[in-house]
Amino acid sequence: MAPIDISSPPSLLAAVPIISHGIIAVYLTSLVGRTAYRSYLTLPPSSATRLRERLRKEHVHVFASLALISLSVASFYSFSFASLSHRIWADERGVEVPQSFFGENGVFRGGNKPVKLHLLRWLSNSALYQDFHETVAEKARYFWWGQQISLATVSWSNFVAVEGQRRNVTHLWAFMALAQLVNLSFAQNLFFITLLLTPVPLPENVKDLTKASIPLTSSRYTRFVDKVLLKKPVGWVPKPALSIAILLSTYMSVFLLPFATNTPSFMSVTLLSKSLPFLPLILPSIAPENWGTIQEHPHEAYSTYATILRTISAVSALLHFKATASALFYNTPDSHYHRHILLRPFKEEHRSALNRGSTAVGKLFGAINEQPAISAVGWDVLLSGISVGIWAGVRGLDAKAMLQSSVPFLDQTEKLVDETAVAVKSESKEAIEKIQGPVKKRAGRPRKVAGEPSTPSAATKRRGRSGKETDDDDDAAYQPSDDDQVIEGDDTAESDVEMAALAWGLIIAGGLASGSTGVYGAEMMAR
């Protein structure tokens, strides 16, 4: 076949998307780092104990290492995919390109004349981003990996929206943008670090506390945002029907990706599937107030969270099973084949179902090494699953809460949620303590809300007296100061390997999105 002529002249505009991609990723990473550091500066006094500081430091180092590994993997396979695309472009056009960086045919050849790379011509004639996403969606065994990342991003965006807004974390959109620009596991680990450094909601005047050391945004930008965005009252939660409508629209766009490959509408569907996960983050700022309800206590929102989580888990599991069935069906070899032999013209040999199935499974998992784009997505799935399992272990999440958030037909969570809401609305201290008991036990660690009086397990003892003596009835019980109280959420738990194993088991059984939803739900409900 004759080489393709290099028709279009090179243009510097072709390099703008690639350069902008790198610059924006670096900027967003620094913005997220400043957000985490700002949270660290405002840690409450109850988090300054030796045990809390030691565990927090260890956990931050673990997730920082995972984030660095994720960034390295994403960078390596992105460069590999770009190199492959460049070689294919040069081969189609008969252009001589270097085969390596050093050596006789490399870019740097000592005193010899170097071989040109033709980077601008390559970028001008290549749709790099479209080729990447179309490669992931064009084959069933490739899409099996890509769909897991898309569905897990939807689950994670709702978790970021709930936990980020509950803890007053700023720039939540930056975490989601990093998940799209770099990979999910990188942004996921950065958000886990931010949560570790934000055990309790940040105060409203946190900007004033850290303005001198770490400025956030300019005052002009802040005034513009305050004018455009609609501020909601504390405790505003969107109605479940609105959130579910957004979820179904997102899942529909993900479902249509394989059918849109090699069509003019592919990039439109791809951009839609990547844009819709931002809606849970910006919904409180753009939705009217009457599109949601105001919860006086955080526990009242449990019913809404349970409905959303179960919808995410159920739809994600169905799409994952559908993708698995399609991948196995299209990669299963025929049950028999004919082999030519010298004495007999044809000989029919049958292959067992086990042999055919093992071949299909081998192709499915082996696809991660077939192409750099699939390697990037596949390793993102694996690293994300590892991070979610480690998070479940270091947080000591409850097994029942994880199962109830990921299995749609378990109704114990809804019963507990309804009883908790009734207790809060009745403002009965005895009812609240009765319902919050199993909630705290479920989370794997006791909690105490700021302002809640201590439960007297025995008569309060006065300092200086014997242990057998008790205070008089008219003596006031000791009330800890605000600095000494343990605020709800500011707790410490020892690592639990069993919870990490359970999380990985849920991921293997129902896919990355369904399994991670159970972990996110256990974290959201453990309040």
| Residue 229 confidence (pLDDT) | 63
More confident residue, 425 or 24: 24
How many other β-carbons are positioned within 10 Å of the β-carbon of residue 30? 11
Residues 406, 385: Cα–Cα separation, whole Å: 15
Position 459 in a domain? no
| Residue 143 confidence (pLDDT) | 95
The pLDDT tens digits for 87-146 are 888 888 887 777 666 555 655 555 455 667 778 888 888 889 999 999 999 999 999 999
Residues 377, 87: Cα–Cα separation, whole Å: 21
Mean per-residue pLDDT for 276-291? 85
Mean per-residue pLDDT for 194-217? 62
pLDDT band at 221, cuts 50/70/90? low
Phi, psi at residue 443, to the nearest 5°?
-70, -10
Position 276 in a domain? yes
More confident residue, 406 or 367: 367
Query: Hey, CA dihedral for 72, 76, 79, 85, is it positive or negative?
Result: negative
* DSSP codes of every residue in 31-58: HHHHHHHHHHHT--GGG-SHHHHHHHHH
Position 154 in a domain? yes
Of 306, 491, 487, 518, residue with least CA distance to 392 = 518
Lowest mean pLDDT among 184-198, 342-356, 410-424: 410-424
Residues 6 or more apart in contact with residue 47 via CB below 8 angstroms: 53, 56, 199, 200, 490
- Give the containing element (helix H, strand E) for 16: helix 16-41
Residue appearing with tokens 């272990």: 393
Residues 496, 498: Cα–Cα separation, whole Å: 5
Which 3 state secondary structure label does DSSP give 101?
Answer: strand
Position 176 in a domain? no
Mean per-residue pLDDT for 239-267? 92
The pLDDT tens digits for 341-371 are 555 454 445 677 788 788 889 999 999 999 9
In the structure encoding, which two tokens stand for residue 23, read together? 């610059």
**243-274 burial by CB neighbour count: b if 16+ within 10 A, else e?**
beebbeebbebbbbbbebbeeeebeebbebbb
Lowest mean pLDDT among 61-65, 288-292, 477-481, 488-492: 477-481
| Residue 213 confidence (pLDDT) | 46
Position 69 in a domain? no
| Residue 323 confidence (pLDDT) | 94
Q: Is the pLDDT of residue 434 over 60?
A: no
| Residue 492 confidence (pLDDT) | 52
- The residue type found at 175 is F
Let me know the angle formed at the C-alpha of 93 by 87 and 97, rounded to the nearest 5 degrees. 40
Position 155 in a domain? yes
Instruction: Quote the longest CA-to-CA distance of the chain.
Output: 108
Distances in whole angstroms, Cα of residue 510 to Cα of each of 142, 237, 357, 506: 18, 28, 19, 6
Q: How many domains does the chain have?
A: 1
Q: Are 494 and 445 in contact (CB under 8 A)?
A: no
Domain extent for 509: 128-169+231-334+353-452+486-527
Q: Are 271 and 130 in contact (CB under 8 A)?
A: no
* DSSP codes of every residue in 301-320: GHHHHHHHHHHHHHHHHHHH
Q: Is the pLDDT of residue 431 over 50?
A: no
In the structure encoding, which two tokens stand for residue 189, read together? 């680990």
Position 296 in a domain? yes
Distances in whole angstroms, Cα of residue 508 to Cα of each of 5, 78, 516: 48, 26, 11
More confident residue, 3 or 354: 354
Q: Is the pLDDT of residue 447 over 60?
A: no
In the structure encoding, which two tokens stand for residue 196, read together? 């570790």
Position 246 in a domain? yes
Of 393, 390, 375, 395, residue with least CA distance to 183 = 375
Residues 496, 215: Cα–Cα separation, whole Å: 38
Lowest mean pLDDT among 47-51, 110-114, 197-201: 110-114
